[in-house]
Amino acid sequence: MSPRLIAVAPVDHPGGAEIHLLRLLAGLQRRGWSIALTTPGAGPLRQAALDAGYAWYQLPLGGLARRAGARAVRSWRHARTLARGANVVYLNGTVCGRILPALPRGPKIVLHVHDMVDRVPLFWRRADVVLADSAAVAGRLRGLSAHVVYGPVEPDPPPAAAPWPTGNGPVIGFVGRIEPRKGPLDLIRAAPAIRAGAPGARVVLVGDDPYGTDPEYVRAVRGARDVEHHPWSENAPGLMRHLDVLVLPSRREPFGTVLAEAMAVGTPVVATRVDGLPEVVEDGVTGRLVAPGEPEQLAAAVLEVLAHRDEMGAAARRSARRFFAEDYVERVEALIAP
């Protein structure tokens, strides 16, 4: 009999953690697992589950806001019922941990932590397996024996047409959610120095703010006239083939999926030296690492990477092999198999 896994997602719109989950579920399905997925509502993630042939159930978790966890108690009975029909319950994120006290003994319970947490609730110890996106994440999980699995990337994403003109100079890009934590304003502030050092360079920002985290910040980013703005692409990895440098100026980042995705298609990167990012980027080899909140350093690093784009891009592609999805699925399956 094939293993039965039910995965619990905290949101309806896929972000980095949900992309990790979808790649894992697809790999497990190919290996004969029976898959079900829960989401709080009927959004794009539900549609992705149905398109993949997974069973889908609605399971509200109280929302992402602080102190919203009490509302998740209303879903405990339904969560307990769903868990009884599975061999493995996969809680994809700390918000999903809100239902841990309700889960029955019997199924193997997996808690996958994708965030830099500030506290570890005692009831997280009810999980049989704890996964962490990086050693930096695992280091915050005091009292838990977390397994570092990094994040999965596809080695050969489908082609994507660039929404900007190509062949007219280097293209430096940010790809991700437009929010303060990701730091896109730092790249905007670095743009004049980048263009001064690389005449003809284009600075592009690809992304939206699906969760409405900071409307004022989004307005400041979108109001900048020194860069080009493009909406989020469902095939962001394919789009990154058209970048000469991918920039992630985050202030806080557990792993940085976009870095690994860019590297996989041979695009070198510039990122901040925070949390899990130094585990992805080899400074001076696959890209450069700089201090957060320093646009001048960011611009200098971009110009340095542009000057060594070919060799750094080749090194980035080689380094990204350790993140390939099939190997990731194999590692995770070995840890969570019932």
Query: pLDDT by residue (tens digit) across 287-321?
Result: 999 999 999 999 999 999 999 999 999 999 999 99
In a domain, 70, yes or no: yes
Query: Residue 201 — very low, low, confident or very high, per pLDDT cuts 50/70/90?
Result: very high
In a domain, 304, yes or no: yes
Length of the chain: 338
Residue 187 and residue 243 in one domain: yes
Counted domains in the chain: 2
- Render pLDDT for 257-275 as a digit per residue (tens, 0 to 9): 999 999 999 999 999 999 9
- Edge-to-edge strand ranges of the sheet holding 171-175: 228-230, 202-206, 171-175, 245-248, 269-272, 287-290
Residue 121 and residue 232 in one domain: no
Residue 123 and residue 199 in one domain: no
Residue 56 and residue 195 in one domain: no
Query: Residue 68 — very low, low, confident or very high, per pLDDT cuts 50/70/90?
Result: confident
Q: Which pLDDT score, from 0 to 100, does residue 1 have?
A: 77
Residue 175 and residue 311 in one domain: yes
Residue 232 and residue 314 in one domain: yes
In a domain, 337, yes or no: no
Residue 145 and residue 178 in one domain: no
Residue 243 and residue 297 in one domain: yes
- Asked if residue 138 has pLDDT above 80, the reply is yes
Among positive and negative, which fits the CA dihedral 65, 71, 73, 77? negative
- Choose the weakest-confidence range: 64-68, 118-122, 196-200, 298-302: 64-68
* Domain, as residue range, for 78: 4-149
Residue 74 and residue 184 in one domain: no
Q: Which pLDDT score, from 0 to 100, does residue 194 have?
A: 97
- Largest Cα separation within the chain, whole Å, is 63
Whole-number Cα distances in Å, 243 to 225, 287, 292 = 20, 13, 22
Q: Which pLDDT score, from 0 to 100, does residue 211 have?
A: 67
Query: Residue 14 — very low, low, confident or very high, per pLDDT cuts 50/70/90?
Result: confident
Residue 9 and residue 39 in one domain: yes
Cα(213)–Cα(196) distance, rounded to whole angstroms? 33
Residue 176 and residue 288 in one domain: yes
Question: Which runs of E-coded beta strand occur in the chain?
Answer: 4-8, 34-39, 55-58, 88-92, 108-113, 129-132, 146-148, 171-175, 202-206, 228-230, 245-248, 269-272, 287-290
Residue 140 and residue 194 in one domain: no
What tokens appear for 259 in the block? Answer: 């870095």
- Mean pLDDT, rounded, of the chain: 95
In a domain, 156, yes or no: no
Among positive and negative, which fits the CA dihedral 259, 261, 263, 265? negative
In a domain, 334, yes or no: no
In a domain, 123, yes or no: yes
In a domain, 328, yes or no: no
In a domain, 327, yes or no: no
Q: Assign residue 105 the CATH number of its domain.
A: 3.40.50.2000
